[in-house]
Amino acid sequence: MYFFHHQPSIGLMPKGVPCQVEDPEADITHGDVVHPCVRYIEEGFEGHQWWMVYTPFYGGDDHMENPRLCYADSDNNTPPTKWKHYCIVKGQPQTGYNSDPTLLYHKGELYVFWRECHTETTDNIGCNYATFGCVVRNRVPKPLPKALLPNVIGEVKRSHDREISPTFWVVGNKLKAFALHQKFDPDFVSCLPTKLARILYRYSLFFLSDALGLYNKIQNRGVAIWEGESFNSQFQYSETVKIKNVSRLYQPWHMDLFQKEEDEKTLYAIVQTSEYFADICLASCDDNRHFRLFRKPLLTSRTIGMSGLYKSTALIVGDDLHLYYTALDNQDPKLNKLFVTTTNWNALLYSIQ
């Protein structure tokens, strides 16, 4: 299908090295790591420069998807492979589940954000999904003011979600959140008899069409942009902007953002290209609105010899791009393992054009 869609099947970055992540509930989570978000804080926070938030997701059990914060140290700006547990940011809710954690270091504070899906809190505010946040200090998560309710980015339509995998960012003097806007069900399905619609899902016909790049059940509408005055008030949805240069083989599913310190004009995104059968690609944005996907992928399953690539995170330290990603273990297909791979940033930009 790569050949059919004129899409390269070999990634530009080498296979990564495995990471060790300390988890106090490893007997339950099996040390599973998914949806990592890594940030490098040059001046350090509580004595450490490298911070990561993630969730376990062993065997696809979303009840485990409760964000954990950890830290690491390294020499000479090398990406760390051993991470120490700091705290559990949010425990398991009574109903629904957590997901999609992300980090932001801003004005000396470390913020952690996560989504809640069909929890008692989202039900109380009339949303199916919502994003919440906290500030962490001395291993204690402190919820943002007013019981977190003003810090909701909510989507009330069941067929749409405008806040998948949100990333909070400071653009100039403004606070923004960038997320992926997805439509879950095709319009024609709602017109079909119930029994026929169930057959489509039961026999995974959409799964096959996704794999072939012929028709995707989940349609990406682009990048949803949210704006806020502060983390003490609700962010407002601004617009959804379509991602440019996306292959028909792809329907972008998750992403994370990064910038080169000397270049504040360009924003980069690490994009998981589909929910399943995903590659990891790079996108750039020069106006804080329009993202353009580079055709050559950074990582593919063929490159790393593993399946189950999921949401990745990246950052530039010095002259190198460090990309942390997760993939399914070849011995235990229920286990998501964390890896890190590195390449020279300028050389990558030259080869990806």
Residue 256 token pair: 């994370």
Q: Where are the domains of the chain?
A: 17-352
pLDDT of residue 153: 47
Rg (CA), the chain: 19
User: pLDDT tens digits, residue range 41-96?
Assistant: 999 999 999 999 999 999 999 999 999 999 999 988 899 999 999 999 999 999 99
Q: Inform me whether the pLDDT recorded for 8 exceeds 80.
A: yes
d(CA 78, CA 80): 6
Predicted TM-score (pTM) of this structure? 0.91
d(CA 56, CA 73): 22
Contact between 37 and 101 (Cβ < 8 Å)? yes
Burial of 101 (0-12, 13-18, 19+ CB in 10 A): buried
First to last CA, the chain: 22
3-state secondary structure (DSSP) of residue 42: strand
User: pLDDT tens digits, residue range 252-309?
Assistant: 999 999 999 888 899 999 999 999 889 999 999 999 999 999 999 999 999 999 999 9
3-state secondary structure (DSSP) of residue 3: coil
Contact between 220 and 164 (Cβ < 8 Å)? no
Question: May I ask the CATH class of domain 17-352?
Answer: mainly beta
Kindly state the percentage of the chain with pLDDT values over 90. Answer: 69
User: pLDDT tens digits, residue range 82-100?
Assistant: 999 999 999 999 999 999 9
Whole-number mean pLDDT of the chain? 89
User: pLDDT tens digits, residue range 214-239?
Assistant: 666 778 999 999 998 888 888 888 99
Q: Inform me whether the pLDDT recorded for 148 exceeds 60.
A: no
Q: Inform me whether the pLDDT recorded for 120 exceeds 50.
A: yes
d(CA 274, CA 186): 16
| Mean pLDDT in residue range 338-349 | 97
Kindly state the percentage of the chain with pLDDT values over 70. Answer: 87
User: pLDDT tens digits, residue range 185-208?
Assistant: 666 665 666 667 666 655 555 666
Separation in Å, CA 154 to CA 119, 125, 232, 237 = 13, 9, 16, 9
Q: How confident is the model at residue 2 (pLDDT cuts 50, 70, 90)?
A: confident
| Mean pLDDT in residue range 145-157 | 43
